[in-house]
Structure formats: structure tokens, C-alpha cells
């Protein structure tokens, strides 16, 4: 495959596929920033390219006005960074920044027009081709530029049924993963520039490389850090990131429901309409379903908080406290959702907006609830109620009841999976 063949393949494809190819291509060459010779008259920073790839990835999860603006600013930052290298196409440093810039541009415009505008295919191919040029510059060490094209072909050939490659490791061809020199140099340079051996960027890169990304809400907040803070360098940015991470690391108390709602991005009109239609369709059974899940959460929370036996280890105690925090947040969101959804009558516009956000919080809370906790549920009725709750919440976010029931089974299902699915479908008339 080459640039022209990629452009041809992308024509008529869903826009997100062009964005994912661009993001993954640009990410694959980020470590090479650490191998470039620095110029004594200029200050080098890894931040512009890293920022462009991070914000582009965040845009794939949160396509809203604030994130789109941040992605555009990141693209501009990567463009300016090419001047460090003289903006020469044959310069590996310039190629890395151009690839990152193109990835950010593609991510920022994926929702602009349909069918897919030609700009998407051109920018995605630009990201891929400039990433390949980096490999040409290092071909004596890491192999030819075909490595990038091979990985793109792997992504295309194995595009998952879930519709996204973002959770896959960057290198499916394991013969191309021997970049220990670049990775070690990258870690050293990040630590030197940030002064932090546990820098956010080290953890972010490991997540991007493996497909096990850091918390997406956390990454969104990092992407939305004001442009002037990014431009002030690693010290100012590091302080801003540490404050964000501190909120996510504090598991001693549950997050305030109003703070959690305020930090969630606004949904699109289509998402609000989906929520409204789902609630209207299932309005007769939703109050009972939500009440069952609320009852269970209260019972489980009381069990955890009322425990008298000593924990077998500090880790077990910490895990119990984490479960209490997650359950408390779930319960708060459920109780607020009960208020927003009346048993009869139409929903107000405000209830639709808030209810949709509350549903997203609940889905996030359910996925954070550990599966091993289910072993303590001796009453399968509670297990079935939770599966039914998942199936009821799914359509509010545009997910079919049967798929949502499958998620519920994965999280809460025990030996009676078939019964759980039946209950879930009965609850939602799926």
C-alpha cells in the first residue's frame, strides 16, 4: 500500500476510519522525537506532537465544540513545531509533526460534512505518508517505511466488529515492536523535560501504544487545558495536569454529582432525541426497573459499609473503599434519574438534557464495578435486576436493548445467563 492507494480505499468510507488511521500512524512515530538531534539555538519540546495526537484521540470519544476547538489549536501547535526543523519534508522531526498535525485536522473535521469530504482522505494519507518517511530516515535501524504501510494494511484487514481500532495495540506485526532504543530515549527525554519519573506523558504513551488508554474523561480535561498553559511549557502544563489527576486519584470520597455532570460534554441534538424516544417507549417499566437497581445498590452499599470483619490485606480494604465510592456515585445518579423521569407525562427539555448525562454517568459507574464483586451476590434476583437495568439504560444512549443486555450479562451475569438475558429483554420489550 502507498499514499494514493490509501486515499482510494478511504473514499466513501466512514470518516472515523480516516481519523483512526491518521491517529495511529502519527502515534507510531512519536518515540522517534527522542532520537532527533537538538538544535543549540532552539528549545525542543515533545509536547506539540504529543498534544496533537492526544486531542485527536479524545475527539474520537467526545466530538463536541470544546474538544474540536482544542484539537484545532493542537494542530496549529504541531504546525508551528515543524519550524524547529525548517519545515523540510525530508527531516524526520518535521515529518513527525506534520503527521501529528494531519491527524488532529482529520479528527477535527470528521463530523463536518457527509459524504466524507476529500480533505479527510488527503490529510489521513498525509499523516500516513509522513509517518512512513520517518521510517525511511531510520531504515538502517528499524526497517523500511513499509513497516507503517504494513500496519495500516493490518488495521484495514482486521477492522474489528466494534467499529474501532483504537483499542488495539499500535503494532500488530510483532516484528516491528523492537524499538527499545527509541522508547528508552523517549522516557529519558520526557523525564528530563518534566522532572517527573512518573510523568503523565509516560503513562499516556504506554496506554496509547498498547490500546489501554488512560481514563478518557481525564484525557479530555487534559486536552481542554487552555492554549496559553500549553504554550508556557512542561512545568506549567505539568502542574495543571497534576491538579486534574489529583481529582481522579482521590478515592476517599465519591465525586459530587453536580461536578460530575458539569464536566460531562453536552450531547448532540440527535443524542437527546435518542434518549427522549427511549424513555418515552419504556416509560411504563423504567420506574420499576430503576427502583430495583436502587434497592440493590443500597443493600450492597450497606453490606460494604457495615462490614465488621478485618480485611485480609490493605489491598482488599482499599478495593472495598473503591467499591463504596463507585456504588455511592451510581446510587446518586440513579436517584437523580428517578427524579428526572416521571412515571407519566412528557419530559421537560431540562430533564432530557440532564437525564441523558445521568445515563452516561451510570454506564460509566457500572463498567467500573468489578466483576469479582458479583461472587458476593447470593440472590440471583439482584443479578437479573442489574442486567435488566443495563438493558433499560442502553436504548437511552442509542444502544439496542439486546446489546445492552449483553453488556449487563458480562458485568453482572452469573450461572443463569440465559435467564438474565430473558429478564433484560422482558424489561425493555426488546
pTM, two decimal places: 0.61
Sorting pLDDT into bands at 50, 70 and 90, what band is 205?
very high
pLDDT band at 162 (very low <50, low <70, confident <90, very high): low
User: What does the pLDDT read at residue 398?
Assistant: 53
Please count the residues of the chain.
Answer: 430
Cell of 402: 439486546
pLDDT in tens, 299-339: 888 888 877 777 788 777 777 888 888 888 888 988 998 88
Looking at per-residue pLDDT, the higher value among 17 and 258 belongs to 17
- The mean of the pLDDT values for the chain is 77
Cell of 345: 407525562
Give the span between the Cα atoms of 226 and 187, in whole angstroms: 25
Q: Can you tell me the distance from the alpha carbon of 19 to that of 2, in angstroms, rounded to the nearest whole number?
A: 17
Given a contact cutoff of 8 angstroms between Cβ atoms, the answer to whether 392 and 285 are in contact is: yes
Kindly tell me if the per-residue pLDDT of 430 is higher than 80.
no
Q: What is the pLDDT of residues 105-144, one digit of tens each?
A: 999 888 665 545 567 888 999 998 888 888 776 654 455 6
Residue closest to 105 by CA, chosen among 55, 152, 153: 55
Cβ burial, residue 265 (10 Å; 0-12/13-18/19+): middle
Nearest in space to 56 (alpha carbons), one of 25, 85, 87, 81 = 25
pLDDT (0 to 100) of residue 82: 82
The pLDDT, as a whole number, for residue 382 is: 43
Specify the higher pLDDT residue, 83 or 96.
Answer: 96
Q: What is the pLDDT of residue 415?
A: 39
Contact predicate 340/354, CB 8 Å: yes
* Contact status, residue 423 vs residue 384, Cβ threshold 8 Å: yes
What is the Cα–Cα distance from 341 to 355, expressed in whole angstroms? 8
- The owner of cell 525548517 is 86
Residue 354 reports pLDDT greater than 80: yes
Q: Give residue 43's pLDDT.
A: 57
Cβ atoms 49, 154 nearer than 8 A: no
Amino acid at each position: 500500500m502507498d499514499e494514493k492507494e490509501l486515499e482510494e480505499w478511504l473514499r466513501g468510507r466512514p470518516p472515523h476510519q480516516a481519523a483512526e488511521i491518521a491517529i495511529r500512524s502519527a502515534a507510531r512515530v512519536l518515540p522517534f522525537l527522542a532520537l532527533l538531534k537538538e538544535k543549540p539555538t532552539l528549545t525542543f519540546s515533545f509536547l506539540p506532537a504529543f498534544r496533537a495526537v492526544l486531542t485527536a484521540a479524545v475527539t474520537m470519544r467526545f466530538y463536541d465544540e470544546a474538544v474540536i476547538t482544542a484539537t484545532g489549536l493542537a494542530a496549529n501547535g504541531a504546525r508551528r513545531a515543524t519550524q524547529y526543523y525548517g519545515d523540510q519534508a525530508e527531516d524526520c522531526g518535521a515529518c513527525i509533526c506534520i503527521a501529528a498535525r494531519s491527524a488532529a485536522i482529520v479528527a477535527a473535521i470528521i463530523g463536518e460534512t457527509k459524504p466524507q469530504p476529500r480533505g479527510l482522505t488527503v490529510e489521513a494519507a498525509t499523516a500516513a505518508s509522513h509517518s512512513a518517511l520517518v521510517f525511511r530516515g531510520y531504515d538502517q535501524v528499524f526497517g523500511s517505511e513499509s513497516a507503517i504501510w504494513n500496519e495500516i494494511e493490518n488495521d484495514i484487514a482486521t477492522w474489528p466488529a466494534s467499529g474501532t481500532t483504537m483499542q488495539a495495540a499500535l503494532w500488530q506485526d510483532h516484528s516491528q515492536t523492537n524499538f527499545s532504543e527509541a522508547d528508552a530515549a523517549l522516557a529519558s527525554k520526557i523525564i528530563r523535560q518534566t522532572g517527573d519519573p512518573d510523568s503523565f506523558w509516560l503513562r499516556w504513551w504506554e496506554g496509547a501504544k498498547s490500546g489501554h488508554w488512560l481514563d478518557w474523561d481525564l484525557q479530555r480535561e487534559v486536552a481542554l487545558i487552555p492554549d496559553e498553559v500549553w504554550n508556557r511549557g512542561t512545568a506549567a502544563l505539568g502542574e495543571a495536569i497534576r491538579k486534574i489527576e489529583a481529582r481522579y486519584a482521590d478515592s476517599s470520597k465519591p465525586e459530587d454529582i453536580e461536578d460530575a455532570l458539569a464536566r460531562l460534554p453536552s450531547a448532540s441534538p440527535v443524542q437527546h432525541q435518542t434518549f427522549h424516544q427511549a424513555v418515552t417507549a419504556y416509560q411504563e417499566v423504567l420506574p420499576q426497573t430503576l427502583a430495583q437497581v436502587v434497592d440493590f445498590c443500597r443493600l450492597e452499599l450497606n453490606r460494604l459499609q457495615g462490614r465488621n470483619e478485618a480485611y485480609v490485606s490493605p489491598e482488599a480494604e482499599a478495593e472495598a473503599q473503591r467499591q463504596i465510592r463507585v456504588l455511592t456515585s451510581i446510587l446518586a445518579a440513579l436517584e437523580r434519574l428517578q427524579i428526572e423521569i416521571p412515571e407519566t407525562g412528557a419530559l421537560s427539555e431540562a430533564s432530557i438534557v440532564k437525564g441523558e448525562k445521568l445515563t452516561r454517568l451510570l454506564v460509566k459507574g457500572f463498567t467500573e464495578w468489578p466483576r469479582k464483586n458479583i461472587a458476593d451476590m447470593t440472590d440471583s434476583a439482584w443479578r437479573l435486576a442489574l442486567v435488566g437495568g443495563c438493558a433499560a439504560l442502553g436504548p437511552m444512549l442509542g444502544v439496542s436493548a439486546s446489546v445492552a443486555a449483553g453488556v449487563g450479562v458480562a458485568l453482572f451475569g452469573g450461572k443463569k445467563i440465559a435467564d438474565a438475558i430473558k429478564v433484560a429483554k422482558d424489561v425493555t420489550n426488546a
